[in-house]
Amino acid sequence: MEKLTGLKKIKTAVFISGTGSNLKNIIKFSKIKKSPISINLIISNTNKASGLKFADQFNIKKKIFNFQSFKKIEKKILILLKKENIKFICLAGFMKILSKNFIEKFDGKIINIHPSLLPKYKGLNTHNRAINNKDKFAGCTVHYVTAKLDSGKKILQKKIKITTKDNPSSLAKKVLRQEHKLYPAAIMKVFN
């Protein structure tokens, strides 16, 4: 990834579909001096994403796209990203799979956080699967986004112990707390 020149931060968009706790955390991180990125745009595929409130709270532009006709929508998003001079994308709980064509336009500049120790448990219900399989560890991974789901190069990963007391929901909470540390660290790594 290109080195930072001077104090200019890389204009970044965050894509969400839900609560947006990672989004909030990335926004807060982006405001510290050493952050290589600024958050200039929030994109969601649904107006039901409660994380959209952080756009208003932090005065960041937001846009909701209905992903029913994928090709058209992605074209519109690309136009918006260009208009806003967005150079980097963080997916944070975004529940749509972007097309190969879209990803190629931002090659190496889209990253995602996934709540498992990739390559284990790509896709959904990661915590259920880890507990059902009696795994000793769960975790989270920040990785580059490629056309193959949850398969791009790993940037950082954090391992978390699963205890006998854990259920999918307690584990999700534990992992999420670590996600909030991992995502900013991964962003720093990308730009260093």
184 contacts ligand GRF (rule: CB under 6 A):
no
Q: Which of 114, 127, 143, 180 is catalytic?
A: 114
Q: Is 19 in the site for ligand GRF (CB under 6 A)?
A: yes
The least CB distance from residue 51 to ligand GRF, in Å, is: 6
C-alpha dihedral, 27 to 190 to 115 to 48, nearest 10° = 40
Q: Name which position in 22, 30, 44, 45 contacts ligand GRF (CB under 6 A).
A: 22
Under rule CB under 6 A, residue 45 binds ligand GRF = no
Active-site residue flag, 114: yes
Closest CA to 114 of 147, 149, 89: 149
Least Å distance between CB 67 and ligand GRF?
Answer: 16
Q: Measured from the CB atom, is 92 or 130 closer to ligand GRF?
A: 92
Distance between CA atoms of 88 and 183, rounded to whole angstroms?
Answer: 14
Q: What x-and-dash track marks residues 78-117 binding ligand GRF by CB under 6 A?
A: --------------xx-------------------xxx--
CA 147 remoteness from chain centre: 15
Where in 110-149 is the site for ligand GRF (CB under 6 A)?
113-115, 140
CA-CA distance, 141 to 149, in Å (whole number)? 13
Q: Which residue has the tokens 């000793």?
A: 136
Q: How many CA atoms lie within 13 A of 116 on its CB side?
A: 18
